[in-house]
Each structure stands twice: as C-alpha cells, then as structure tokens.
A and B are shown apart, each in its own frame.
Chain A
C-alpha cells in the first residue's frame, strides 16, 4: 500500500507544481513507483512542467465519468521508469469533481504504487478539498514571505481539521544572501511561526525557470542546489534520515562557472 501525499500551500505561485514534478521525478529516480495527480481542474499545469502535455489523451474527469479505465488514463513519463501522470480536465471546473470521487482514485492508485502525489490548486475551496480528500499526509509548500507564510498556516489548520497527518513543511525559494542581510525571514523563523516539521529547504534557483521552459524537472540534472534539495526531500519521504544542510551562498567562483557552462 502506497502513501497518498497532497502538495498544497493556500497561496498560489509558491512552487506547488514545481515541487510535485520534482519530488515525483526524484522518487522515481530512486526506484519508487509514483503517480502524480494534477488536481487543478480547469487550470492544469503539471503536464507542461513535466513536459508531458502532448501525450495526454484522458483526464481524471474521463475516469470519474467512466469514459476510461484509470490505468489507461495514466501518462507514462519517458525519462524515468515508474513515473506516471494523471492529468486534470481543462474543460471542467473544480465543482465537477466530488471529494469521494477523488478519494476513490487515490485509493485505487495507492494499491499498486509506492507514492501518489496530489498537486493541489491554490485556495481553500473545493479544489483544495478534493485534492486533500484522499491524502494521508501533506506537504505544505511556502516561500519566505508574509502572505505565503500566513496562508500556509491557514491551510495547515484546515488539513489538521481533516485529520491529515503528518503535515511536513517545504520551504521554497530561500535566498541565504537576503536572510544574511536581514531582508528575508530565516528558515528558523518560518519553522517557529508555523510550528511544523520541516522536511526540506529549497534555495531560490533561476534554473527552475529554464527547466520549466524545457519541461524537464530540475532533478534530472543533479548539479544545482535546488535539485539536490529536492532529491534529499524525496529520500526523507521514503523514511531516510538525512539532516537539512545550511544552504550555501553562491560565491564569485560558482557564478563564473555557471556563466561559462551557459545553462542559466
């Protein structure tokens, strides 16, 4: 029996989809079988972030309306073995799906996969409730800014009310330089405010934009700090105990190297 984990945040634009794509890929890279579900009905994006947008034939809506078997609706990722995507319908809206239907899909998928990651839409309404309906655990993604942190606390309250446990925190887009200069709240501040278990810190990384441009999740190339951070979170999700290292500030030398390698 696999685990069903909802990836959520309350606020939009903090990196839920990027985190789902990278963690799903990272888990598959370490040999797990993974299904990533896009629960953002009407505004799907997990497919483009993963580079699978041209291969979608069926969506979760087709499964719910019995137009297609669940296993046939899963799109296989060609870059890594064991990773599949269940896309969201672009022509429907969030109220066309009921929490029990989403739960049934998660239950069926967990029986033959190690992990089911559900990418939640922003907000606290029906889209979020559907995404959380079948989840045992949650990853709350936040960035170090006031609105994202406040919304993360709200969503945490709602998840606790639904009985989702454990709830782990992913702190995304942290800039060690800005923290040092006193212009960004630190990792410890965020943990103290939200009082959640921190499962990983992902540094601000411009490489995320180019990886999204290409539709290739960052973790395929393990060279950046952000990719390494996602790999560590994936390993922690499998139960490995890996300490959270302090994020290094990029020095003059690594900037020069990046400039020469031309991938930023």
Chain B
C-alpha cells in the first residue's frame, strides 16, 4: 500500500466515480435484475417454440443503450432446413 502510494499508482477518484456512476445509472434506468431476465428468456422460448424452429441454446437476450434509453434485444437464430 505504502509502495503504491509513494509511486502515485492509486487510481484517480474521478475515474472511480465515473465507473460507479455508469453502473448505478444503467441499473436505475432499466430496473431489471439477472433473475427476471432469465425467467423472461425462458418464457419467450416457450412462446416462440410453438411457432417456429430455432436453436434454443443460442438464444440471447441483451440490453443495449440507444441514446438516453435502453433497448431490449432478443436473438432467436432460426434453424436452417436440413440441419
């Protein structure tokens, strides 16, 4: 610790603030936890599986920032005929 301090390796508090703010702001903006994202994924699979054929193990749900808001994107790769 003393060594680190002597050589000024301590990260600047402004960059710590920036990182922490990125996390809390995105959590505040999109108020969803891991667990509910997972159950949402399972439910979507159940519904969509009734209508078309896709690779269940390749389904992906992701949250992307677009401007000031967030967009929930779900990828359901279609299984090609003969595969």
Contacts and interface: CB of A to CB of B under 8 A. Distances in A.
Nearest to A152: B25
Contacts of B39: none
A186 interface: yes
Interface in A168-217: 179, 181-186, 189, 193-196
Given A150-B24, A153-B28, A193-B22, A160 B68 contact: yes
A185 B17 CA distance: 7
Contact of A183 (B13, B24, B25, B28): B13
Nearest to A153: B25
Contact of A186 (B14, B22, B28, B68): B14
A154 interface: yes
A182 B13 CA distance: 6
B15 interface: yes
Contacts of B21: 146, 149-150, 185, 193
A64 B20 CA distance: 44
A157 B70 CA distance: 12
A195 B14 contact: no
B25 A150 contact: yes
A149 B25 CA distance: 9
A185 B11 CA distance: 13
Interface of A: 145-146, 149-150, 153-154, 156-157, 160, 179, 181-186, 189, 193-196
29 contacts: A145-B17, A146-B20, A146-B21, A149-B21, A150-B21, A150-B24, A150-B25, A150-B28, A153-B25, A153-B29, A154-B28, A157-B28, A179-B14, A181-B12, A182-B12, A182-B14, A182-B15, A183-B12, A183-B13, A183-B14, A185-B14, A185-B17, A186-B14, A189-B18, A193-B21, A193-B25, A194-B25, A195-B67, A195-B68
